Amino acid sequence: MVSTCCRNNILEVFALSMLLVFSSLLVIASADFYQDFDITWGDGRGKILEGGQLLTLSLDKASGSGFQSKHEYLFGRIDMEIKLVAGNSAGTVTAYYLSSQGPTHDEIDFEFLGNLSGDPYTLHTNVFSQGKGNREQQFHLWFDPTTAFHTYSLVWNPRRIIFLVDNIPIRVFNNLESNGVSFPSNQPMRIYSSLWNADDWATRGGLVKTDWTKAPFTASYRNFKASACIWSPNSSSSSCSSKSTASAQDGNSWMNQELDAPGRNRIRWVQSNFMVYNYCTDFKRFPQGLPLECRRSRFL
């Protein structure tokens, strides 16, 4: 039998070897939405403005809209400033996430569930691996996300996924493949965002419907940054790995990023004061026992 220590070492070697095979370079991109993204649907409801520095998505009764990144990534740090739909946003969902394709896809989600004016947005997070999700955590934010831009970040490396809001960690999902828990470690993912109507479930379980007299609803994006490995199926370049090592000296140490003591204090503050749902405490949902990762990781 292989020891846990050895399995962990084998796992790290495998993840880094996948990085060498499938990733071509470390890219640091700043907001030029023309360069980095394509509007993929919405029949003109998605717009790139201000010379590529601003992107907006709109939703009306006929359709929502969405965009996706031109590149696929295999590990990285992704930052985006977003200002959400203001006013009565009940029934609307602004989704911002990483995803691969296919029935066994991987996915890392931010979803912002709208609400009546004056009530807080619900920030819904989830992690899919090999087509399996059901790892939801939900939060209310400590600010109004509709009055100004705020930064929503995903750190994804071979050891963990960290969700951050204005650089404050709110959730960590650790790689526990050695314990039989699947983890997004070998499927490249694109960045996606969409604004769409989900009034059958988004607000109070579908009890509050979208008020179309308030349409169009609009979300705005700016200052996209990616310090990440661009996936290339035909490349065996090791430049991503070498630059990832060097990036620690430049303050871009996402490849090995974990929570330090201040980060642990911040995530405790968020989860104690603003978490409104955690699948790892939902015993009614899992009467046969909580998922394995809930018993193995302190922060999920």
How far is Cα 123 from Cα 137, in angstroms, rounded to an integer? 8
- What would the two tokens of residue 264 be? 């642990």
What tens-digit pLDDT sequence spans the chain (300 residues)?
444 444 444 445 444 444 444 444 565 555 699 999 999 999 999 999 999 999 999 999 999 999 999 999 999 999 999 999 999 999 999 999 999 999 999 999 999 999 998 899 999 999 999 999 999 999 999 999 999 999 999 999 999 999 999 999 999 999 999 999 999 999 999 999 999 999 888 887 888 899 999 999 999 999 999 999 999 877 643 235 434 333 433 445 899 999 999 999 999 999 999 999 999 999 999 999 999 999 877 666
Query: What number of H helices and E strands is found in the chain?
Result: 5, 16
**What does the alpha-carbon distance between residue 267 and residue 94 come to, in Å, rounded to a whole number?**
23
Helix orientation angle between 239-247 and 4-22, rounded to the nearest 10 degrees: 120
The reply to whether 107 belongs to the active site is yes
Q: Show the CA angle centred on residue 245, arms to residues 109 and 101, nearest 5°.
A: 30
- Select which of 107, 136, 177, 293 is catalytic: 107
Choosing from 111, 136, 177, 258, the catalytic residue is 111
111 part of the active site: yes
